[in-house]
């Protein structure tokens, strides 16, 4: 039920009929034809660029095509009027009944209204968070977690087969640091003085890990050389950290489908296989990199390394995959991991990275392009910083000062719903201000509140009607006489509802969940506007003396509520029934 795509079909159908009738040459490409809501309401309900798009390939002036097309469109019973305007736009007005019929259609589809099939069941993997398993999640991770999860929900709603995945960076040196840090806490649990040297993780969250180690291994590793306990402690501690991270994510409402381990790639031949595959393509070679110009690197010396020819796929320089000691660089397991995702049959990969990893994008895309033979697109979303504010002042985080804000802190202070919504009020590549006070403010400039308030008002009016003994269940509302919804303000609200399926498709195609949040704000605004017009024009109030009229108006309100719930669902936010 997407009115815009329905009318677009009408337009392309009319173009085909014109071709058959010899009014247009055969073989025209209609892909670029759009049907959109016009920016200016004076331009009707919908506008199409068909005549302008076809003018050049058809070798005809746009206005000539527009006039012919207008005549054909006007014959459709859904169309109230068509006129050519501007450089060749066709402005289309629909019969009010077409708009009104949308209300029962929305109520009939309920939560499925707006669901799309454009994903066509295509398999997409969304990798996000992927924080090192060395400590609790902090605010820096929250935005990536929310954006990734909302994107996954959005894509699923638009017809993709979505897998949410977390890549555990448990293969590098930082998990050894974790193990040594945990060892000190283990000693502490035995009553010894811990030596938290520079470079170890000082956080209190390792104290219970130390105690758990004592419980499990007793005193067996006290005063033993590192070589005897490192692997054991590393596994134990990183496992515990991942448990904590899963709980953190769960408190935000985020659940992963797959956790992949970097460590698990070692020793299985996976890395070797990926590199050999690239070598078979002639993309691996031994060479020496030039030092970066304009940047002074002390102790730079030319070094023979094993390099990936990423420049063959758009990168700026080739990248090393092996260290001079023969070990893999961090890039090598990442290549293997993405190769694994390709081999698991995904049609599309999405990575959510912090903006500080921007320099990594080209090489990763190059690797995926090479290993998938160009078949699997990789989209990398960079998440910009979140700036924290408190009491109108920037809130600076410091590990040492103990003002380190964890995901838990945020969720406990403002709640998961508010956190999630606010994190989606900017596009991913723009920095975002998060003010602990403002996000809880109950006012119009707080979009979370504003949208929830709209939903609460809808529920309020439903309760009101029910108290007046008016049946307002969806089945009854769906057969209300919607022809009574003939006021321009009501039709305008319906038009906004009609945009929802279109918005879902646009947002999903661009991997841009923030669009949903902005749309919801606009929809809420339109509802508030209509609501308040009831102050001056009593005939616009939702509850009327006449039951039939009341049901028609409440059907409209309810349809808005359906869309708000669906939209909030994509954001992972629970709609509220009532403001307190």
Contact call for residues 161 and 257 (beta carbons, < 8 A) = no
6/20 with CB nearer RNA: 6
208/292 with CB nearer RNA: 292
258/431 with CB nearer RNA: 431
Instruction: Write out the two tokens for 343.
Output: 């081999």
530/563 with CB nearer RNA: 530
17/579 with CB nearer RNA: 579
CB of 34 to RNA, least distance (A): 6
The C-alpha angle 547, 548, 553, rounded to 5 degrees, equals: 95
419/549 with CB nearer RNA: 549
CB of 153 to RNA, least distance (A): 18
The C-alpha angle 160, 163, 165, rounded to 5 degrees, equals: 145
Q: Which helix (H) or strand (E) covers residue 168, if one does?
A: strand 161-168
Contact call for residues 93 and 70 (beta carbons, < 8 A) = no
CB of 571 to RNA, least distance (A): 15
Count of CB atoms situated within 10 Å of the CB of 224: 11
411/493 with CB nearer RNA: 493
Instruction: Write out the two tokens for 199.
Output: 């470079």
Count of CB atoms situated within 10 Å of the CB of 538: 10
CB of 191 to RNA, least distance (A): 33
Residue 448: strand pairing partners: none
Q: How far is CA 324 from the centre of its chain?
A: 40
Count of CB atoms situated within 10 Å of the CB of 181: 25
Q: How far is CA 541 from the centre of its chain?
A: 36
The C-alpha angle 387, 511, 13, rounded to 5 degrees, equals: 145
**DSSP character string of 99-159:** HHTHHHHHHHHGGGTT---TTTT-EEEEE-----TTS--BHHHHHHHHHHHHHHHHHHHTT
CB of 265 to RNA, least distance (A): 11
293/400 with CB nearer RNA: 293
The dihedral formed by the CA atoms of 231, 237, 242 and 248, expressed in degrees to the nearest 10: -170
CB of 569 to RNA, least distance (A): 20
CB of 182 to RNA, least distance (A): 18
37/377 with CB nearer RNA: 37
CB of 169 to RNA, least distance (A): 3
CB of 268 to RNA, least distance (A): 17
Distance, CA of 570 to CA of 121 (rounded, Å): 18
């Amino acid at each position: 039920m997407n009115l815009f795509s329905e009318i677009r079909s009408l337009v392309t159908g009319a173009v085909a009929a014109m071709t058959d009738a010899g009014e247009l040459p055969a073989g025209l490409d209609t892909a670029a034809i759009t049907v959109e809501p016009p920016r200016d309401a004076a331009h009707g309900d919908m506008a199409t660029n068909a005549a302008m798009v076809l003018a050049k390939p058809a070798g005809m002036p746009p206005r000539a095509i527009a006039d012919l097309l207008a005549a054909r469109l006007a014959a459709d019973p859904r169309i109230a009027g068509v006129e050519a305007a501007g450089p060749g736009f066709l402005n289309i007005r629909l019969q009010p009944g077409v708009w009104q019929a949308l209300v029962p259609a929305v109520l009939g589809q309920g939560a499925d209204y707006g669901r799309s099939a454009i994903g066509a069941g295509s398999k997409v993997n969304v990798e996000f968070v992927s924080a090192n398993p060395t400590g609790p999640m902090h605010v820096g991770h929250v935005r990536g977690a929310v954006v990734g999860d909302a994107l996954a929900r959005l894509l699923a709603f638009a017809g993709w087969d979505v897998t949410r995945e977390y890549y555990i960076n448990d293969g590098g040196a930082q998990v050894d640091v974790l193990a040594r840090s945990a060892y000190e806490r283990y000693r502490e649990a035995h009553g010894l003085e811990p030596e938290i040297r520079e470079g170890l993780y000082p956080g209190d969250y390792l104290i219970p890990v130390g105690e758990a180690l004592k419980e499990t291994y007793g005193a067996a590793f006290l005063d033993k050389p590192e070589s005897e306990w490192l692997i054991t402690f590393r596994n134990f501690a990183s496992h515990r950290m991942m448990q904590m991270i899963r709980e953190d994510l769960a408190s935000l409402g985020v659940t992963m489908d797959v956790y992949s381990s970097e460590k698990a790639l070692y020793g299985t031949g996976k890395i070797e296989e990926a590199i050999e595959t690239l070598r078979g393509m002639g993309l691996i070679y031994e060479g020496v990199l030039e030092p970066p110009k304009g940047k002074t690197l002390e102790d730079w010396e030319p070094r023979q390394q094993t390099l990936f020819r990423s420049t063959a796929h758009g990168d700026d320089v080739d990248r090393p995959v092996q260290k001079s000691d023969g070990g893999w660089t961090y890039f090598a397991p990442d290549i293997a991991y993405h190769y694994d995702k390709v081999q698991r049959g995904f049609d599309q990969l999405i990575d959510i990275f912090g903006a500080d990893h921007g320099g990594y994008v080209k090489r990763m895309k190059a690797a995926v392009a090479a290993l998938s033979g160009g078949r699997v697109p990789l989209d990398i979303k960079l998440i910009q910083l979140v700036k924290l504010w408190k009491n109108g002042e920037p809130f600076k985080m410091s590990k040492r000062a103990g003002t380190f804000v964890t995901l838990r802190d945020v969720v406990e202070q403002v709640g998961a719903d508010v956190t999630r919504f606010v994190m989606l009020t900017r596009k991913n590549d723009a920095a975002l201000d998060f003010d602990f006070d403002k996000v809880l403010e109950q006012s119009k400039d707080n979009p979370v509140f504003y949208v929830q308030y709209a939903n609460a008002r809808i529920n309020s009016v439903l309760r009101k009607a029910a108290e007046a003994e008016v049946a307002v269940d969806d089945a009854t509302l769906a057969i209300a006489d919607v022809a009574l919804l003939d006021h321009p303000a009501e039709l305008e609200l319906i038009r906004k509802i009609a945009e929802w399926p279109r918005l879902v498709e646009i947002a999903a195609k661009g991997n841009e969940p923030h669009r949903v949040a902005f749309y919801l704000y606009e929809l809420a605004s339109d509802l508030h506007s209509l609501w308040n017009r009831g102050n001056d024009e009593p005939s616009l109030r939702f509850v009327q003396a006449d039951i039939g009229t009341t049901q028609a108006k409440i059907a409209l309100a309810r349809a808005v509520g359906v869309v708000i719930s669906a939209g909030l669902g994509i954001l992972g936010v629970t709609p509220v029934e009532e403001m307190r």
